[in-house]
Amino acid sequence: MAKSYSSKINRIRTFALSLIFIGFIIMYAGIFFRQSAFLMTLFMLLGLLSIIASTVVYFWIGMLSTKAVQVVCPSCGKPTKMLGRVDMCMYCKEPLTLDQNLEGKEFDEKYNQKKK
Ligand SMILES: [Zn+2]
């Protein structure tokens, strides 16, 4: 897993954006298979599916955002949203936590996994 963390909402947003790009690239690749109507349709459909998927992901972000807790970052003073027990400030990547027991501890995504 990548070591560089970023805010969860930002990460999902990046994922949705890359899905759109992948969709367009797949559709563009379909043009090179013009001689085969079947292949071209297949590529176009795959590209379309990818774009639809990104719309779904964007919708999902919207749902998550309503559940996210809005906090004011202690480091940069900007209001940011966080998901789960630990997350990062969207602006300065300051680790944030809602759990007092985890305060001062090193940032670790593992705290988000539900374990007793
Ligand atoms: Zn901040």
User: What distance in angstroms lies between residue 65's CA and the mean position of ligand 1's atoms?
Assistant: 17
Over 60: is that where the pLDDT of 115 sits? no
Q: What is the pLDDT of residue 4?
A: 61
Mean pLDDT of the chain: 85
User: What distance in angstroms lies between residue 81's CA and the mean position of ligand 1's atoms?
Assistant: 10
**Contact between residue 18 and residue 58 where contact means Cβ atoms under 8 Å apart:** no
Q: Please give the single-letter amino acid code of residue 47.
A: G
Q: What is the pLDDT of residues 26-61, one digit of tens each?
A: 999 998 888 888 999 999 999 999 999 999 999 998
pTM of the model: 0.70
Burial grade of 37 (CB within 10 A; 0-12, 13-18, 19 or more): exposed
pLDDT confidence band for 2 (50 / 70 / 90): very low
Q: Could you list which residues have their CB under 5 Å from ion ligand 1?
A: 73, 75-76, 89, 91-92, 94
Q: Please give the single-letter amino acid code of residue 115.
A: K
User: What distance in angstroms lies between residue 106's CA and the mean position of ligand 1's atoms?
Assistant: 16
Q: For residues 112 and 49, which has the higher predicted lDDT (pLDDT)?
A: 49
Q: Where are the domains of the chain?
A: 8-67, 69-112
